């Protein structure tokens, strides 16, 4: 399955939050899934970690997830901005969720997120435990 991993999944792991073990378990299923991160998520993670003066953590994240694990970056073009606006208005999504929604639709990806806002869309979302069979 081709999965778009939302920002909050990665942050659970990076910040060692409550659902980190579940998120980590999903990302080990490389034989079952192909993982994607939007360019927006990648930059958002960088922004958050730089604000917290965790530059090295961001560098390690990029090395571990993008280079070593081979997570692919999925992007949009300027021509896709109208789709983001429309998704935001149609489903009452913030910019970041509308961006993720459009990326997933454009690239044929299943959204994996702890954010229930995606449940208002026809794409919906999966949480890691659903993909782990628990």
Q: Which CATH architecture has domain 2-132?
A: 3-Layer(aba) Sandwich (3.40)
What is the mean pLDDT, run by run of 10 residues, along the chain of 134 residues? 97 95 91 95 97 96 91 96 98 98 98 97 96 77
For the chain, what are the domain ranges? 2-132
Q: What would the two tokens of residue 54 be? A: 């965790």
pLDDT of residue 31: 85
H helix or E strand, kind and range, residue 104: helix 95-107
Sheet strands (E) in the chain: 2-5, 34-38, 72-74, 110-112
């Amino acid at each position: 399955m081709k999965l778009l991993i939302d920002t909050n999944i990665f942050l659970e792991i990076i910040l060692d939050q409550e659902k980190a073990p579940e998120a980590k378990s999903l990302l080990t299923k490389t034989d079952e899934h192909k993982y994607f991160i939007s360019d927006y998520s990648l930059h958002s993670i960088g922004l958050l970690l730089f604000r917290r003066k965790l530059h090295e953590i961001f560098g390690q994240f990029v090395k571990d997830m993008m280079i070593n694990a081979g997570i692919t970056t999925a992007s949009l073009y300027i021509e896709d901005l109208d789709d983001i606006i429309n998704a935001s208005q149609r489903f009452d999504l913030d910019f970041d969720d509308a961006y993720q929604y459009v990326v997933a639709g454009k690239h044929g990806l299943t959204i994996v997120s702890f954010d229930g806002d995606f449940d208002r869309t026809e794409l919906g979302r999966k949480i890691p435990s659903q993909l782990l069979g628990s």
